[in-house]
Amino acid sequence: MVAFLSERERIFTYTHYYPMMNILLICLIIILPFFIQRLCRNVKAFRFIGSVITCFLVGLALGNLIPTSFMNHKLIKSFYEILVPLGIVLMLLSTDIKQWLKASVRILFAYALQILSVILASLAAFFVLRDMLTDAPALTAMISATYIGGTPNMSAVKLAIGASEELFAGVFLSDLVASILYIIFIMVFAGRFFRKFLPPYSSKDSLQKKINNEIISFYSLPISKRFINIIIGFILAIIITAIAMTMHYLFFRTIDSINMMFIILTITSIAIIFSFIKSIRTLPGHFEAGDYLFNTFFLCVGALASFKEIISVNLTLLLYVSCILYGSFFIHFVFAKIFRLDRDTFILTSVAGVMSSPFIPAVAATLKNKDIIVPAIAASIGGLAIGNFIGITLATILSSFL
């Protein structure tokens, strides 16, 4: 179209039309997750699927159905590279490390076994299947981090190690397929199946002290209060990111070439330090704002992915992801059998790692056990920080074996 315009019209088009389209694109990306999250909260089918997967699928549809002249891929990529650091900070600001340590010793021990199981399964998959895949260290890093702390870790590690969008989309899709089968088994069959092999849960086994702190629901606050809390959270996230960038400059003496691994690990550490300040940690809205940013991130990832690439699922990659997921699940079960963990503790700590905290209450309801929801969620949020460090460490170590 531009080729048939006069020089004056062409200048007007590039200076007015395309900037306006970019603004509309960013507005669409920012607003859509709001409606998707409301849909997932109010409609049972979408609540089961989850907002992350729904955002990815909506982004995938938009990216492949809307003309490429509107979908500025470079702008989308630049936008989501900003979202990940801010999202990590916001989610970690609400982490209560003291509460995490006060949670049942048995729950934390079981979750530590989950982490160890993921590491062992990741190492086994790498050394057995590494010749069948390219970028095996990057794959191992993203997958292991995901099954320790949740989907946000996948995006954080992806950004830290500089994995490609195509590789990330493939890992995400493979995880999606493998995780659907996992959660169906957990929700429908796991309770009855593992009852045959593991002892029942007993409240006497738990050393958890009752947490009396009243948790204020973010969504119960007035809209104005929510908005103020989110603004405060963003200001803190920007300050922490600025500190990390300053430390990067002092360490590397440049900001032209940014070492994202250094940035991700630094902001993770600083955010955890800030979380010890009670007035910051207890301010409602940090976790929700961070979750919103990661939903936006997966909308962007979907928009950058191609139907052709998604349809041709790499079966080897799916096998690799499945080996880590189900291998770690089996190893975790063996540990549970050895250390005589009860059925509910084993299942919920597995879900805390593989599926992250939003799935814990639903699974606990199927087990008819609400006693360990809080410590399991606490363990899962703690894994959000641990997963980044373990994933990046594995990527660094395993790279030396290629």
Domain assignment present for residue 10? The answer is: yes
Helix (H) or strand (E) holding 254: none
Confidence check: pLDDT of 389 > 80: yes
How many structural domains comprise the chain? 1
Cα 182 from chain centroid (whole Å): 17
Q: Are the beta carbons of 270 and 243 closer than 8 angstroms?
A: yes
pLDDT band at 4 (very low <50, low <70, confident <90, very high): very low
Q: How confident is the model at residue 169 (pLDDT cuts 50, 70, 90)?
A: confident
Quote the pLDDT of residue 108.
Answer: 86
Element (H, E) at 94: none
Q: How confident is the model at residue 323 (pLDDT cuts 50, 70, 90)?
A: very high
Structure token digits, residue 91? 């989610």
Q: Return the DSSP state at 162.
A: T
Q: Within 10 A of 278 (CB to CB), how many other CB atoms are there? A: 10
- 272: confidence class by pLDDT, cuts 50, 70, 90: confident
In a domain, 215, yes or no: no
In a domain, 47, yes or no: yes
What interhelical angle do 286-304 and 18-42 show, nearest 10? 120
Q: What is the mean pLDDT of the chain?
A: 80
pLDDT above 80 for 234: yes
For residue 157, being part of any structural domain is answered with yes
At 180-192, the pLDDT tens digits run 788 878 877 888 8
Question: How does pLDDT run across 107-161, given as a tens digit for each residue?
Answer: 889 999 999 999 999 999 999 998 888 888 999 999 999 999 877 788 888 888 8
Which of 95 and 283 is assigned the larger pLDDT?
283
Question: What number is the average pLDDT over the span 247-276?
Answer: 78
> pLDDT by residue (tens digit) across 31-89?
999 999 888 888 877 877 778 778 888 888 888 887 766 777 778 877 877 777 888 78
Q: Is residue 232 part of a domain?
A: yes
Q: Determine what percent of the chain is predicted with pLDDT higher than 70.
A: 82
Q: Which amino acid type is present at position 383?
A: G
Query: Is residue 197 domain-resident?
Result: yes
Looking at per-residue pLDDT, the higher value among 347 and 7 belongs to 347
**Per the domain annotation, does 217 fall within a domain?**
no
Assign residue 172 a region (left: φ > 0; alpha: ψ between -120 and 50; beta: otherwise): alpha
Q: Which of 2-16, 208-222, 381-395 has the lowest mean pLDDT?
A: 2-16
Cα(100)–Cα(375) distance, integer angstroms: 7
Cα of first residue to Cα of last residue in the chain, in angstroms, is 48
Q: What is the pTM of this model?
A: 0.69
Task: Give the pLDDT band (50/70/90) at residue 102.
Answer: low
Q: For the domain that residue 22 is a member of, what is the CATH number?
A: 1.20.1530
pLDDT of the residue at 261: 67
| DSSP code for 209 | P
326-331 long-range contacts, CB within 8 A, separation 24+: 326/178, 326/182, 327/120, 327/121, 327/124, 327/125, 328/114, 328/117, 328/118, 328/120, 328/121, 328/122, 328/147, 328/354, 329/117, 329/182, 329/354, 331/116, 331/117, 331/120, 331/121
Is the pLDDT assigned to residue 363 strictly greater than 90? no
Contacts of 137 (CB under 8 A, 6+ apart): 126, 394, 395, 398, 399, 401, 402
Domain housing 89:
2-201+223-399
Collapse the DSSP code of 402 into the 3-class scheme (helix H, G, I; strand E, B; otherwise coil) and give the result.
coil
Name which of 353, 354, 373 is nearest 362 in CA terms. 373
Please check whether residue 246 is in contact with residue 257, taking contact to mean a CB–CB distance below 8 angstroms: no
Domain-located, residue 218: no
CA distance 108 to 105: 5
| Best mean pLDDT range from 240-244, 264-268, 332-336, 367-371 | 332-336
Task: For residues 321-338, give the mean pLDDT.
Answer: 95
User: Tokens 């050895």, residue?
Assistant: 338
